[in-house]
Structure 1
Amino acid sequence: MGASVAVSVLLASGQAMAAAPVPDADSQAARTAAVVEAATGTSDIAPAPAPGTTVPQQSTANVKAGTATGHAVSITLPSARNVTGATAGKNTTVYPGAAQATDLAVQPTTDGGIRALAVLKDATAPREQRYDIGLPDGAHLVELDNGAVAAIAENGTFLGGFDTPWAKDANGRPVPTSYRLEGNTLVQTVQIDNSTVFPVVADPKWWDKTKEIASGMVGDTWNSMKCGGALGAAFIPGSSAYKVIKNAGGVKKVLATLASVDTKKGALSALGSGGSTLFGIKSIKTACFDNLK
């Protein structure tokens, strides 16, 4: 993406029309990129998006990302204006002023994922950011116990997911934040108070294990999210897994139990009589047991 930025001016008629480059547009993008990269760090920013992942030129276009099954998902940024992006910093694409008192940004990451970021510039910025998620036919989103959100295919296969949300203020202090789902719309809420120092950066991050880092940490996190997604999708009143997971203490407790063992035999033993029930559910077996010896 070029260094110069073409901006669109919204006329009173509601029609968008290309205008001459704004002289300070690049510096504004650079300032926002610096704020974003101070919050995210730069060690995991990829020099280019992974295959199947795209960063849009316009803020109203969709971010595209891959899934573990080779399908695609789309993420619609919470943009109120059609703004042309500018790439600055280590590789952060910024959409200045894309919403009220809010800049948006996108970063590809070295683990094959992608971050969509909202930069709340002052107290007039919206407290909620809404991301419409386009999924393969029949797929749906599931909230997990740790605040993350998993995408589950119609057949129960784990596609990928959004990491536990975070937000930071200008001093690097955590700002309380959480997700909720409205169908396939991911809504991130940021709780601002009188002690919050603006700007605030908030981050939904999608990843699908397209690429792993050598340390294996991505693989461990991936396995946990994948298993949590399968358990969460099965944790429906009336299902065969519901009573087992509930009696075991919930999805988070079952995940902790499985993380404490390294063999299928050990997992079945640790889960007691309910282990065979979970093992017999194909999506849970694949996501939670097949990586064990």
Structure 2
Amino acid sequence: MRKKIMRSRGGVAVIATVVTVSTLIAPPSYAEEQGAAADAVADLVQTAAAEATASQDAIPGILTADATVALPRDPDANVIVGLQEDPVLEISLPDAVDLHTGVESSDGMMVFAGKGDSPDVTVEALPSGARVTTVIKGDTAGRSFDYVLPDGVTAELRSDGRVELTEQIEVEVDKGEVEVSKIVGYVEPAWAIDAAGRDVPTSYEIEDGVLTQHVQTDSATTYPVVADPQWSVTSWNHARMRWNRAETATISAGGWGATGAAGACGLVGSALAGPPGAAIGSAACLAAGGAAVYTAGVAQNSRPQRCLEMYATVIFTIQPSFLPWFGTYSGGSCR
């Protein structure tokens, strides 16, 4: 009988132990599981970004370092990037990627888990804007990602791999044709890197108001692959002026004044900074005639021929200034 009682007590003890352990090691909640998964994806993206951007050129000084970024949890909502809470860009998440509701990682990155084979997408706030990444989980996932451009914003792929984002400024000049745009931001050069740390070929395409990043994987690719467009915004005080081929020819022959450039610079300065900007813009462009004529000549002598463009920055310090610098471009109005 005593032995029976001891066995019975032993049985009770085992049951009590099981209950105690199961209470101490409770299964994680759904929220905890989501948070852990988001942290894992965020760590993967941070590691890939550090490797991929280590050798990239420094971000241009024209970009702001005080961007405000609103990160949505709704996968159908836009990422809002602004300056001092004034919206500048509304960035859509990749079109046609099927995503769950966003979960914030412990370091503040918003992670949208892809449904099924669909890639994951992350959004990270940066001092100059936002990094939007796609995480391709396997060779059955999509490899082209569409980003619908914000209303009124035109994108152009530059020779350094950056995509320049502009909004047109309406100006009228007495003579000549000048295309004037405000620079609102850039998309930094495309990169993609696989789980083995190897670069994966990637490129941008711009068509019908959509920026598409193409990622070209192959049989040697190790998954997951992280691909990144980084959207950055500029300060308020940057603009671009462009002349067509006929105007470029006139300027290269010494006809800088004949294009109404000084007047146009005044209008650009006014659009950016009001009457003070108009005065310093006109004066600066009158003084910059020599540089304009030289660069227009370079454009004329290039094959195929290119056209003249001017970037300008209005700076208000103790002595307000309008800083123009010249370059060449092709396509667009260069015809």
Alpha-carbon separation, structure 2, partners of 1:244 and 1:202: 43
TM-superposition CA deviations, 1:6-59 (whole Å, max 9, x none): xxxxxxxxxxxxxx946622221111111101012399xxxxx95542111122
More helix per residue: 1 or 2? 2
- Deviation track 1:139-163 (CA, whole Å, cap 9, x = no partner) reads 3111212222111111212111101
Cα drift, residue 271 of structure 1: 2.7
The answer to whether 1:24 aligns with 2:33 is yes
Counterpart of 1:95 in structure 2 is: 112
Q: Residues of 2 paired with 1:172 and 1:243: CA distance? A: 51
Confirm whether residue 151 of structure 1 aligns to residue 160 of structure 2: no
Aligned-pair identity in percent equals 26
Q: 2:48 aligns to what?
A: 39
Take 2:129 and 2:249, find their aligned partners in 1: how far apart are those partners? 31
Aligned mate of 2:136, from 120, 128, 134: 120
Which structure 2 segments of 5+ residues have no match?
Answer: 1-28, 54-64, 170-180, 253-286, 301-306, 315-321, 326-335
| SS of structure 2 residue aligned to 1:284 | strand
Question: Partner letter of residue 290 of structure 1?
Answer: L
What CA RMSD, in Å, does the superposition of the two structures yield over aligned residues?
Answer: 4.0
| Correspondence 1:1-293 to 2 at 5 A | 21=30, 24-41=33-50, 52-66=68-82, 71-78=87-94, 80-97=97-114, 100-110=117-127, 112-135=128-151, 137=152, 139-155=153-169, 156-209=181-234, 230=240, 234=242, 240-241=247-248, 267-268=291-292, 271=295, 273=297, 284-286=310-312, 290=323
Measure the CA separation in 2 of the matches of 1:195 and 1:166: 17
After TM superposition, give the deviation of residue 174 of structure 1 in Å. 1.2
How far apart in 1 are the matches of 2:294 and 2:249?
Answer: 18
CA distance in 1, matches of 2:164, 2:45: 25
Question: What is the TM-score of this pair, normalised by structure 1?
Answer: 0.64
Q: Distance in 1 between matches of 2:185 and 2:83?
A: 6
Which has more radius of gyration? 2
Give the 3 Å change call, closer, same or farther, for CA 285–118 of structure 1 in structure 2: closer
Contact kept in structure 2, 1:58 and 1:82, CA below 8 Å: no
- 2:104 maps to a residue whose letter is T
Change (3 A) 1:104 1:287: same
Unpaired runs of at least 5, structure 1: 1-19, 44-48, 212-222, 246-262
Question: Quick one: structure 1 residues 141 and 24, their matched pair in 2 at CA, closer, same or farther if it must change by over 3 Å?
Answer: same
SS state at 1:145 partner: coil
Give the letter aligned to residue 271 of structure 1.
Answer: T
Distance 1:106 1:183 in 2: 24
SS where residue 200 of structure 2 aligns?
Answer: coil
For residues 104 and 244 of structure 1, what CA distance do their matches in structure 2 show?
48
Contact 2:69 2:80 in 1 (8 A): yes
The alignment covers a number of residue pairs equal to: 226
By how many angstroms is 1:101 displaced? 3.4
**TM, length-normalised to structure 2:** 0.56
Amino acid at match of 1:169: D
In structure 2, C-alpha distance between the alignment counterparts of 1:134 and 1:164, rounded to whole Å:
19
The CA distance in 2 between the partners of 1:207 and 1:71, in whole Å, is 13
The letter of the residue matching 1:240 is E
Contact 1:108/1:114 (<8 A) preserved = yes
Which shifted more, 77-86 or 198-207? 77-86
Structure 2 SS opposite 1:66: strand
